[in-house]
Amino acid sequence: MASEQIEIEGLGVHLDKVIYRYDPENAPEGRPHLFIYFVTIRNYSDRAVTLVGRRWVLTCRDGHTMVVEGEGVVGEKPRLRPGESYSISSFHMVSASAVAQGSFHGVDSSGRHIVIRIPAFPLQVPQRAR
């Protein structure tokens, strides 16, 4: 059985910006819509946390769902003390307009497994690119 993960008040993710690009030449087959996103993870809790993984769920308007899980956060395992934040950028490539959501996973300074929810946000393909 997987260990229980708790949500800690004061930990959160803020979507800073999303940039769209149509890139069929460099995209995996059937996923020409590139969305570059910028997020900031904030720790306003009373304990340090180390982020060790992430899970994204992308639900496309065409019915396709992708789950992306992995170790680290953009290849790193950042430690955020109380009051600190950590900004990242990454991307998703999808087949159609979609909704992205997920979570970052880690451990707090007491060794408890924690989860920080990533609120859902739209990946809207512009009319001209459809």
Q: Is 7 helix (H, G, I), strand (E, B) or coil?
A: coil
Over residues 39-83, the pLDDT tens digits come to 999 999 999 999 999 999 999 998 889 999 999 998 899 999 999
The conformational region for residue 95 under phi > 0 = left, psi -120 to 50 = alpha, else beta, is: alpha
Cβ pair 59, 95 in contact under 8 A:
no
Q: How far apart are alpha carbons 128 and 47 in whole angstroms? A: 47
Q: Where do the domains of the chain lie?
A: 11-129
Q: How far apart are alpha carbons 7 and 48 in whole angstroms? A: 13
In this prediction the pTM is 0.86
CATH number of 11-129: 2.60.40.1470
